[in-house]
A and B are shown apart, each in its own frame.
Chain A
Amino acid sequence: MRLFAAAALGRLTSALTRLIGRGGSALPGLIAEKLDPHLVEKILGDTPVVLITGTNGKTTTTKMIVSALEANDRKVVTNPTGSNLERGVASALLDASSLKGKLDADVAVFEVDEAAVRSLSPRLNPRVLAVTNLARDQLDRYGELQTTAGHVATAATHAGRLVLNADDPLVASVANTTPVSWFGGTPSIRERMPDDRSLYGDTTEAQPPEADALVVDSQIDGDGQIATIRIDGTEHRIRLQIPGVYNAYNAATAVLVTRLLGVSAADAIPALEAMEPAFGRGQVLEHMGRRVKLLLVKNPASLNHAIEILKGITEHHRVLIAINDEHADGRDVSWLWDTHIEDLAATSHQYLAGGVRAADMALRFKYAGIDAPALPDFADALDLLVDGAPPGATVYIVPTYTAMLRLLEILTPGASRTEVWK
């Protein structure tokens, strides 16, 4: 009866929030979990669960896994982009179940925040827990990296199978007696994966575990890339619609996870190739006759990934790096000084500094030897970005989370609403 009431009220809230235009939301889950704290377990029953956690790449990896499973006729329940706390998981389950709380899905795939995974994993006993990477994140929100690694290690003890990043020593350290599938890159690929190990005192160059899915190559291809991944000795060339070596790692993760759920690499790959970028993660939008490409950043590691992509593009582009300091971005912008902005000085791109903390970004550029105007007004920044580019050209925006939402309000009015409730 409790489950029924909780599920029904949750569904009602869900319908209401949609009606008033808040989009997909964590609110129904929040309310329903208050009524029945075991709602999530009850709805799931015996449905196999996959949890994806880590600092960066959760959303894209989750989307890849879901795409591959759905393309192979699995009915999947998943949480919408960014709604990666317990209440987001509960909301997703409510949406996919009947009024009586009966779930209509073969498998559940959830992206979960590194803190939420600690409490969710013991409740859900996931069949697979995948950890993308563990890097320094917004210190005012998440606290210390060692603490985060501890949360993930606790979660790992409740999983049936682990899928771990062999190249990330902190991720590798959460391995326990549970069987592990490893993903990683060749030494030359690893060099192209900026890490921030030097930021937390790790200077060891330990031999990484042998990878079951090994990224051996990543070549720029249009807006995306051709990633070559060796899985059990067989090389697969995957034409991804998203750039960046880190997305080749995400694809390797997705292939390992789906394989554990009975979908072969050969069956998963066409879906990965067909997959469009997740919200703001390599997404391309049209604006004033120009192509605007979004590369969301959250922390030093993800900005360094964006820098790596920009370094790899030889033709000239206009690039706006937009830094906000709202709660969701992290209030402290000190992390800008931990990124390899200096590397951009050698590129042929033209840079603009935007966001609420445009002045801080302009200052960071200045000390890297790059002259970039500070444009705190979002409309002004966007105008100047496209005005200087010829029609049909691609311009880049590298925004933090809320800066991206502000820019999307101008680029595609209304589209960001589904992302707002977090």
Chain B
Amino acid sequence: MITVVHLYPREMNIYGDTGNVIALRRRLEWRGIPVRVDAVGVGDEYDLLGADIVVAGGGEDLSQMRVADDLQARAGAVRDAVEAGVVFLTVCGTYQLFGHRFVTADGEVIPGIGVFDAETIGGGTRMIGNIVIDSPVGTMVGFENHSGRTMLGSGQAALGTVVRGFGNNDTTGEEGAVVVNAFGTYLHGSVLPKNPLFADDLISRALRRQGESGELQPLDDSVERAAAESAASRP
């Protein structure tokens, strides 16, 4: 049984982030692995140590502010869960809040929870378009749309390197961040349906933490690959 937590499904869902939950659910179901999805919103009590995979997305500025406060209240619990190996996928807005802080274009500082050794500075031009990166699981594609520039600390591992597009910022060529089993990324589109190897990597990590081998029955991913190729060929 894999428990997927959709964190802030109402507030942080702006870029088809629900698609990540759908992808995990289906890929588990297709393999006969029981799955349950819990929605955890602002103010909801939930023991994240009991979760296997936590997914959170991007949101409008107003939503991001509301979520930032709630996230502060759970900062310790989230960091404990990350340390314990719970799998996290944070996209765009929540990725930014999983860093130390987000400094808006107006100079306002929104504190993050410091899971990633990263800082995001808002403003400037919007980094927008289809993006291709190289990652340990292979080539990944997505769509990015952000004005925040995320800079990683010197010891902070990235998720991958940018082949086409911007990624964390417009200078370092890095995209995303990884700590234990927690991932941050600017890729949406949604990211997991079009990147089945990444989706399966998250599932394997969750199963291994349960003491299983993490070996997954292969699926026919031809439709997924076709969509990824099509996205990679678009501006």
Nearest chain A CB to B58's CB is how many angstroms away? 10
* B214 interface residue per 8 A CB criterion: no
* Given contacts A146-B62, A376-B230, A363 and B194 within 8 Å (CB-CB): yes
* Given contacts A199-B13, A201-B11, A367-B23, A359 and B226 within 8 Å (CB-CB): yes
* Given contacts A201-B10, A337-B16, A374-B226, A363 and B193 within 8 Å (CB-CB): yes
Alpha-carbon gap, A150 to B20, bound state (A): 31
Alpha-carbon gap, A62 to B8, bound state (A): 38
* Given contacts A334-B19, A337-B16, A356-B234, A200 and B227 within 8 Å (CB-CB): no
Per-residue interface assignment for chain B, residues 210 to 235, with 1 indicating a CB less than 8 Å from any chain A CB and 0 otherwise? 00000000000001101101110011
A contact patch SS = helix
Closest to B191 in A: A334
Closest to A368 in B: B22
* A99 interface residue per 8 A CB criterion: no
* B170 interface residue per 8 A CB criterion: no
A366: B residues at CB distance < 8 A: 223
A144: B residues at CB distance < 8 A: 60-62
* B189 interface residue per 8 A CB criterion: yes
- Interchain residue pairs with CB less than 8 A apart (22): A139-B14, A140-B145, A146-B60, A146-B62, A199-B10, A200-B60, A201-B10, A201-B11, A201-B59, A332-B15, A332-B143, A332-B188, A334-B16, A335-B16, A356-B230, A359-B223, A359-B229, A360-B194, A360-B227, A363-B226, A367-B19, A367-B23
Does B223 contact A362, Cβ atoms closer than 8 Å?
yes
Does B16 contact A201, Cβ atoms closer than 8 Å?
no
* A325 interface residue per 8 A CB criterion: yes
Does A338 contact B143, Cβ atoms closer than 8 Å?
no
A203: B residues at CB distance < 8 A: 10
* B190 interface residue per 8 A CB criterion: yes
* A175 interface residue per 8 A CB criterion: no
Nearest chain B CB to A201's CB is how many angstroms away? 4
Alpha-carbon gap, A374 to B26, bound state (A): 20
A146: B residues at CB distance < 8 A: 60-62
Does B61 contact A360, Cβ atoms closer than 8 Å?
no
Alpha-carbon gap, A358 to B231, bound state (A): 10
Does A334 contact B128, Cβ atoms closer than 8 Å?
no
* A333 interface residue per 8 A CB criterion: yes
- Residue with the highest number of chain B CB atoms closer than 10 Å, among A136, A200, A202, A357: A200
* A189 interface residue per 8 A CB criterion: no
Does A325 contact B234, Cβ atoms closer than 8 Å?
yes
Does B223 contact A337, Cβ atoms closer than 8 Å?
no
Does A200 contact B16, Cβ atoms closer than 8 Å?
no
* A336 interface residue per 8 A CB criterion: yes
Within 8 A of B (CB), among A330-378: 331-338, 356-360, 362-364, 366-367, 374, 376
Report the 8 A-B pairs with minimum CB-CB distance, sorted nearest first. Answer: A337-B19, A334-B16, A337-B16, A359-B230, A363-B227, A359-B227, A359-B226, A144-B60
Nearest chain A CB to B104's CB is how many angstroms away? 14
Alpha-carbon gap, A325 to B194, bound state (A): 16
| Residue in contact with B60 in the complex, picked from A145, A198, A336, A360, CB distance below 8 Å | A145
Nearest chain B CB to A197's CB is how many angstroms away? 9
B173: A residues at CB distance < 8 A: none
- Residue with the highest number of chain A CB atoms closer than 10 Å, among B23, B129, B188, B193: B193
A338: B residues at CB distance < 8 A: 13, 16, 18
B145: A residues at CB distance < 8 A: 139-140, 332
Q: How many residues of A contact B (CB 8 A)?
A: 33
Does B223 contact A374, Cβ atoms closer than 8 Å?
yes
**17 new A-B contacts at CB < 8 Å, known A199-B13, A332-B143, A364-B193:** A139-B14, A146-B60, A201-B66, A332-B188, A333-B143, A334-B16, A334-B188, A334-B190, A336-B16, A337-B190, A337-B193, A338-B13, A359-B223, A360-B194, A362-B227, A363-B193, A363-B226
Within 8 A of B (CB), among A286-312: none
B234: A residues at CB distance < 8 A: 325, 331, 356-357
Closest to B63 in A: A201
Closest to B224 in A: A363
Does B235 contact A331, Cβ atoms closer than 8 Å?
yes
Alpha-carbon gap, A359 to B226, bound state (A): 6
A336: B residues at CB distance < 8 A: 16, 19
Alpha-carbon gap, A359 to B230, bound state (A): 7
Nearest chain B CB to A317's CB is how many angstroms away? 23
Nearest chain A CB to B40's CB is how many angstroms away? 14
B188: A residues at CB distance < 8 A: 332, 334
Alpha-carbon gap, A369 to B193, bound state (A): 13
Alpha-carbon gap, A140 to B130, bound state (A): 12
Alpha-carbon gap, A332 to B62, bound state (A): 21
Within 8 A of A (CB), among B43-75: 59-63, 66
A337: B residues at CB distance < 8 A: 16-19, 22, 190, 193
Alpha-carbon gap, A202 to B62, bound state (A): 12
Alpha-carbon gap, A63 to B3, bound state (A): 50
A145: B residues at CB distance < 8 A: 60
Nearest chain A CB to B81's CB is how many angstroms away? 24
- Residue with the highest number of chain B CB atoms closer than 10 Å, among A201, A325, A356: A201
Alpha-carbon gap, A191 to B36, bound state (A): 27
Alpha-carbon gap, A363 to B19, bound state (A): 11
B227: A residues at CB distance < 8 A: 359-360, 362-363
| Residue in contact with B193 in the complex, picked from A139, A358, A367, CB distance below 8 Å | A367
Nearest chain A CB to B232's CB is how many angstroms away? 11
Closest to A362 in B: B223
Nearest chain A CB to B97's CB is how many angstroms away? 15
A360: B residues at CB distance < 8 A: 194, 227, 230-231
Within 8 A of B (CB), among A362-415: 362-364, 366-367, 374, 376
Does A334 contact B223, Cβ atoms closer than 8 Å?
no
- Residue with the highest number of chain B CB atoms closer than 10 Å, among A200, A334, A335: A334
